Structure 1
Amino acid sequence: MNKPVLGVLASGRGTNLQSIMNALNNGQFSAEIGIVITDKPQAGALERAAKAGIPNICIDRKKYGTREDFEKKLLSVLRKHNVEHIILAGFMRILSPLFIKEYKNHILNIHPALLPSFTGAHAHRDVLAYGVKISGCTVHFVDEGTDSGPIIIQAAVPVLDDDTEESLAARVLQQEHIIYPKAVELYLKGKLKITGRRVLVKE
């Protein structure tokens, strides 16, 4: 039986990529990472993938005049590597409805806040500015909106009085590394059912 093929899209250090690779190596679920793609040539995710012997490529957004051209290249590389499911691991680009349509309900993302609150690229800053006492992280399916897809799993993290963006981000990241592989496991084992805005976990 062929393993499902994942494509991982990242923009930064690749720590969530690493958590997925660790889960694969530990036998938490069965899959193959067909390709790791970054949009920035200096992204640490490229080095992590190379060390693990995983095909990797940078598709530099700056080299493409339009988002459509950039996404066409993304899709062509994903198809070339037979990618069936996409894992966004700190990928700092909003994907267009046309891209999402290609992989409808087959794209997972992790966001460093408790959605639907504090969407967007500056979640920790916004959490601290608002003064909430609990933050956390959310794994969700990607839809055409910004951080608006059906929620799979969440983890809560207390916000401390002396927190900075960096200290809060570090504690939230610890939880990201726990819940993202778990969500991918549930997804790949066919235990998730989307019903409207809800994601039900089947036994």
Structure 2
Amino acid sequence: MNNKGLKELLEKIEGQLNYKEEWEADKVQYTYKLKLTEEGKIQCDIMDDDCIDYTIIIEKASNTTDILRGFIDYLYKEEINHRQAYLKGSKEYFNRKHKSLALWLDRDKKDKVITIVEDMAEMYKESKRLEFEVKHYKGFASKFYSCLNVLEPYWRVNEVKDSILAKVKKLSINNVDISSIEDRITIVKLDDVAENVVDKFQVVIGAYANKNAIANQVVCRLNMEDVA
């Protein structure tokens, strides 16, 4: 896709991102501005009134799914994943501190108790801050997903299909045809001479389908046919 076509695509995505449903009227309103940079990358500025709240820059992509998934992946890699990992660790931290607190209370060590309580209070404040930030960035990711679901209703079907194809190729499972229509993926397995159908089945892809889990289920069934 040339730059003119890509700019038109970015305008289309930007228009959908900035479309507001009636039920969103009471929510914080962000404006999304997309552009192609001088370096040939795609930039998304998320505006809060006239101020830039956050900027995402990804490598050039030529279709709606890759652009929006690129924005989502960027958010999780740069902002969400490490915060969620910290929050998960903080739960383990509190469990350990609760045990220590009970121990020093039993021994009537008030200085130890005070130190632990102070540490827990600081950890609690930090955890709450990170929870707020995770919710903030996930709000942007949710908007990108909503836009993707409108512009490319069957994007997840294609993603799952590509995952199945990659798995089939990696495991050298031959004579397999995979196609999709709307929310259904059809898998056809032929015999060794590719003349007769030995198995045919469909997989319905839901909104929250796990591509890796489905790909594993499909190849397991195909491998069973090979054994049979």
Q: TM-score, with normalisation over the residues of structure 2? A: 0.26
Which structure has the highest strand share of the two? 1
Q: Which has the larger radius of gyration?
A: 2
Higher relative contact order (CA 8 A, sep 6+): 1
